[in-house]
Chains A and B, each alone.
Chain A
Amino acid sequence: MANTTNLDPTKTLHEIEEKFEMFQILNEEGKIVNEAAMPDLTDDELVELMSRMVYTRILDQRSISLNRQGRLGFYAPTAGQEASQLASQFALEKADWILPGYRDVPQIVWHGLPLEKAFLFSRGHFVGNQVPEGVNVLAPQIIIGAQYIQTAGVALGLQKRGEKAVAVTYTGDGGSSQGDFYEGINFAGAFKSPAIFIVQNNQFAISTPRELQTAAKTIAQKGIAAGLPSVLVDGMDALAVYAVTKQARERAINGEGPTFIETMCYRYGPHTMAGDDPTRYRTSDIDSEWAKKDPLVRFRKFLEDKGLWTEEKENEVIERAKEEIKVAIKKADATPKQKVTELMDNMYKGDMPFNLKEQYEIYKEKESK
């Protein structure tokens, strides 16, 4: 059948997809490939960012090991995503809100959640979710996509309050298939709210490869559907992630609305520690290909070339991390066990409803024995 129109929707699609080049500043060898885009970071800040990435890699190793010993519960490994997680958080201010997914514990820890609380979250204790006053984070969200629509709401709230702050949220590549993912970015776009939506594309949603989520060539281009400025960034490059998040934050607080960011990254470990075995769905070839892109390796080289980082310095961070983790686990161990009456106390602000009041008395009696 002959073409009856001169439209070429395939060409339109390809033209859009071609626009999404991966933004990178630091290559795998730790060399600057985009001098013009270099973020304005002091030497101290560069060192701090590296320290946090090293610390978080150790936190991941220790968390996996503590989980295997049964001293932690639910845990979603983070190794490989340090640039994506920590360089984006590093671009934020204290007033900013973080709405994390279940893998995004490091961001809320660096935003002010005490480590022992992160461990209590893992174990399943309400004290872990009691974030300290002034730390603008929510507990890790288990329902994939819910954090996106809630972020649109927090951002609208900040906008209405006239605050110079943003709401930042994270999901994974699989999460970009959810309805709430799209509704979240679309609402923030329609209200022109100060939100930053980050998709950490770590290539797999449990065992399902990124290609099975969507025919879209990039996830970044999904932002276009909501009318959001959208970026594809090398998620293994701390400087690039920092630069795009910082720029998104500035746009947001200047009233220019939300930004959508896809960070291309990888998780070295399993999906979670609840029995997932990545060798069933990942080849060692893919693993070693991504190992070459390790965010720590390239940032280390970059800092060493500038004379800002040494093995000694790195070991100091490692020792500090191990020590603080040990202390935090002890604090978590010392947290009193949960009582049913406490769970009831937390259900409502103010008076309990009749049914709960009755049950409260029953459990108070049981607990007094």
Chain B
Amino acid sequence: MAQMTMIQAITDALRTELKNDENVLVFGEDVGVNGGVFRATDGLQKEFGVDRVFDTPLAESGIGGLAIGLSLTGFRPVPEIQFFGFVFEVMDSISGQLARMSYRSGGVYNAPVTIRSPFGGGVHTPEMHSDSLESLMTAQPGLTVVVPSTPYDAKGLLISSIRDDNPVIFLEHLKLYRSFREEVPEEEYTIPLGKADVKREGKDLTIIAYGLMVHESLKAAEELEKEGHAVEVIDLRTIQPLDIETIIASVKKTGRAIVVQEAQKQAGIAANVVAEITERAILHLEAPVLRVAAPDTVYPFPQAESVWLPNFKDVMETAKKVLEF
């Protein structure tokens, strides 16, 4: 075991898979000799060579096309999109092409591609760096979408994503890259895709979250405990497909739930979670399922992040509404 930050765990997962499978290729803008703008691929080109870990021209769409073409010739590409706000440039390659590869070829071809990309607020990035655009991906049949919140989860989920024979979008929250360390096994391990994790057990209320909001929810849960409420916190980890079993089992136990996301209320995946709970557990609910989400504006100018982004206080406020309904 070693103490790792999430970024170190990601590098470790990439190294593990580059070592395990000679078809794994890592490429993108500045991921080679530079080791990535966040050092996620640090040292990998030196260790595995320029044939396995390489830079590309500055064009996200071209990177998407490159991944598709390489997968057709039997490779297992792990491309990087420098910031997920730039996904609009490569939407066709992802949603119009990769996601449909197996279906449109009647299962003859498949696309074992893992797209890594950082996102998320709280670090005062310039425009279009921090936007939460995961719902663009979850709405597209054919994609699996993963958002880890801890170093341990990041490593196991990334190894699983790379080994998956279908396209996976792996979104890495910028604020979680180096915010804390955690024990991470040095050997390889996997965490199944589509499986949530109960990060804290409780019986009074279920908080369902992903990404940075998992930590805000845990902080809120601690505060609520001081006020006598036992709160369960579920980290979705994979946001498409949802782990319905874990969500519903928890809601049936607690009878109350909120869903917490960093994305705007009209975006993200909270509405999907609410709908699933309503369809499957309405008779177990003591109160409506409420959402914590950002306002429906464009992502804030950097100086306005603190008043705009949802935080543990918003989680507490919404939790209390549901507890006191």
Q: Which residues of A contact B (CB under 8 A)?
A: 97, 126-127, 129-131, 138-139, 143, 146, 148-158, 160-161, 167, 179-180, 183-184, 186-187, 190, 343, 345-350, 353-356
Query: Shortest distance in angstroms between B286's beta carbon and chain A's nearest beta carbon?
Result: 26
* B102 in contact with A348 (CB, 8 Å): yes
Stretch from B120-128, B239-247, B288-296, B305-313 that touches the partner:
B239-247
Residues of chain A within 8 A (CB-CB) of B144 are 353
Contacts A157-B74, A347-B142 given: A131-B108 contact, CB under 8 Å? yes
Which residue of B66, B75, B92, B141 contacts A347 across the interface (Cβ within 8 Å)?
A: B141
Query: Is B51 interfacial (CB-CB < 8 Å)?
Result: yes
* A349 in contact with B165 (CB, 8 Å): yes
Which residue of B61, B66, B72, B107 contacts A130 across the interface (Cβ within 8 Å)?
A: B107
A to B contact number (C-beta, < 8 Å): 141
* A157 in contact with B70 (CB, 8 Å): yes
Question: Which parts of B112-132 form the interface with A (CB within 8 Å)?
Answer: 112
* A158 in contact with B73 (CB, 8 Å): yes
When chains A and B are docked, how far (Å) is the Cα of A347 from the Cα of B103?
A: 5
* A153 in contact with B69 (CB, 8 Å): yes
Map CB proximity to A onto B60-104 as digits: 1 under 8 Å, 0 otherwise: 011011111111111100000000000000001100110000111
Residues of chain A within 8 A (CB-CB) of B105 are 129-131, 138-139, 346
Residues of chain A within 8 A (CB-CB) of B102 are 346-349
Contacts A153-B66, A153-B67, A187-B59 given: A353-B241 contact, CB under 8 Å? yes
When chains A and B are docked, how far (Å) is the Cα of A180 from the Cα of B106?
A: 25
Residues of chain B within 8 A (CB-CB) of A346 are 102-103, 105-107
* B104 in contact with A139 (CB, 8 Å): yes
Query: Shortest distance in angstroms between A33's beta carbon and chain B's nearest beta carbon?
Result: 38
* A146 in contact with B104 (CB, 8 Å): no
Query: Shortest distance in angstroms between B51's beta carbon and chain A's nearest beta carbon?
Result: 7
When chains A and B are docked, how far (Å) is the Cα of A124 from the Cα of B75?
A: 29
Residues of chain A within 8 A (CB-CB) of B165 are 348-350
Residues of chain B within 8 A (CB-CB) of A139 are 104-105
Q: Which residues of B contact A (CB under 8 A)?
A: 25, 51, 56-57, 59, 61-62, 64-75, 92-93, 96-97, 102-110, 112, 141-142, 144, 164-166, 194, 240-245
* A354 in contact with B65 (CB, 8 Å): no
Which residue of B75, B93, B104 contacts A149 across the interface (Cβ within 8 Å)?
A: B93
Contacts A130-B106, A149-B62 given: A350-B166 contact, CB under 8 Å? yes
Residues of chain B within 8 A (CB-CB) of A184 are 62, 65
Residue of B at shortest CB range from A148? B65
* B62 in contact with A348 (CB, 8 Å): no
* B96 in contact with A153 (CB, 8 Å): no
Residues of chain B within 8 A (CB-CB) of A161 are 73-74
* A167 in contact with B62 (CB, 8 Å): no
* A353 in contact with B194 (CB, 8 Å): yes
When chains A and B are docked, how far (Å) is the Cα of A160 from the Cα of B67?
A: 13
* 13 A-B pairs with C-beta separation under 8 A: A131-B105, A146-B93, A149-B62, A149-B64, A149-B65, A149-B66, A153-B65, A153-B70, A160-B25, A179-B61, A183-B65, A350-B166, A354-B194
Contacts A156-B69, A156-B70, A160-B75 given: A149-B61 contact, CB under 8 Å? yes
Residues of chain A within 8 A (CB-CB) of B74 are 157, 161
* A160 in contact with B97 (CB, 8 Å): no
* B69 in contact with A152 (CB, 8 Å): yes
Residues of chain B within 8 A (CB-CB) of A158 are 73
* A143 in contact with B69 (CB, 8 Å): no
Contacts A129-B105, A157-B74, A343-B103 given: A146-B65 contact, CB under 8 Å? yes
* B244 in contact with A354 (CB, 8 Å): yes
Residues of chain A within 8 A (CB-CB) of B64 are 149
Residues of chain B within 8 A (CB-CB) of A156 are 66, 69-70
* B142 in contact with A348 (CB, 8 Å): yes
When chains A and B are docked, how far (Å) is the Cα of A183 from the Cα of B71?
A: 18
Residues of chain B within 8 A (CB-CB) of A127 are 106
Query: Shortest distance in angstroms between B55's beta carbon and chain A's nearest beta carbon?
Result: 10
* A190 in contact with B57 (CB, 8 Å): yes
Query: Shortest distance in angstroms between A156's beta carbon and chain B's nearest beta carbon?
Result: 6
When chains A and B are docked, how far (Å) is the Cα of A150 from the Cα of B100?
A: 14
Residues of chain A within 8 A (CB-CB) of B164 are 350
Residue of A at shortest CB range from B144? A353
When chains A and B are docked, how far (Å) is the Cα of A212 from the Cα of B109?
A: 37
Residue of B at shortest CB range from A189? B57
* B59 in contact with A154 (CB, 8 Å): no
Residues of chain A within 8 A (CB-CB) of B61 are 149, 179-180, 183
